[in-house]
Structure 1
Amino acid sequence: MSETGYDKKLAREAGEIARLLSYVLILFASVGLFLSAAGIPTSRFEKLGAGAFPKIVFAGIALVAVIAIIDALRKIPAGAYGRFAAQTCAWARRRYLVFVTLAALAVYLILIPVLGFSIASFLFILALELVLMPRRPATLLIAVIVAAVFSFGLNWLFAEVFTVFLPRGVL
């Protein structure tokens, strides 16, 4: 390992595992697209049908992905999977705010039909501001004002100026 903490062997192993995961995703996508190509309507006048060419292409992609998966599995040492999992967990812990933001976005999207655009947006923006910004009295006041403007203000703008009504919610 060098002075910067970079180990070429670990980086190579992580790259091989990431490549393996991408091959698996390509395999799943090509199999799914192959199955969906079977649903393309066929013509009475063609023997192969309209879905034949896409099925051939996706079968070829799946075959190449299987070959690549076998080759990648052959190149990866047995202990690399555990090291990769540990490195991935450490990476995720260092970037926890990204996951907090994505979770807040998912909750926001679930709450829009229930609470309506204005209330859900106010809670979403305020919660993210409280998580991401420094907490001082002045910044808390600014956070509440920004959340109100970008939730209730946008709802007013769309309703009164553009006559586009955002979701009201059931509550």
Structure 2
Amino acid sequence: MTTMRTDGLDFEGHKVGAVYRTLARTVSETDIVSFVNLCGFVEPLFIDMEYVKRESVFKRRAAPGALTFSLSEGLIMQTGLIHGTGMAYLGGELRIVAPVLEGDTIRVEIEVVDKRETKKPDRGIVTYRHRVLNQRDEVVLEARVQRMIRRAEG
């Protein structure tokens, strides 16, 4: 189910096996160019369209994998899934599976795969599996991430 929440799930509300889906977002040329300039990705693959047309296997403007991950995180935040309950992003593993090109539309499937209590009674650690899919339902990015999530009060 696509989820848009105004209050995030606390640690107890995260059920292992639960799957959430984001809305979709089309990646524009402006998105790619802005990100590349902001982050200093001065690689010809990202800034020189003549090079891209001549040398790239894609022949179109491609999004850096870091942009795809960032956009996927934004889509996840827009669900409200951890609104007010997410305390920290603790890291994880990331795998770029396929390119995201200008004009592609991406969405994210989020699965709760594990959770554990911590020594501190106000928080727990939740592990998620993120699958970023394009408009053809092809996986373009996979991630396994851990977040510190606030526990319910009382």
TM tier, shorter chain?
under 0.3
Higher strand proportion, which one? 2
The structure whose RCO (Cα within 8 Å, separation 6+) is larger is: 2
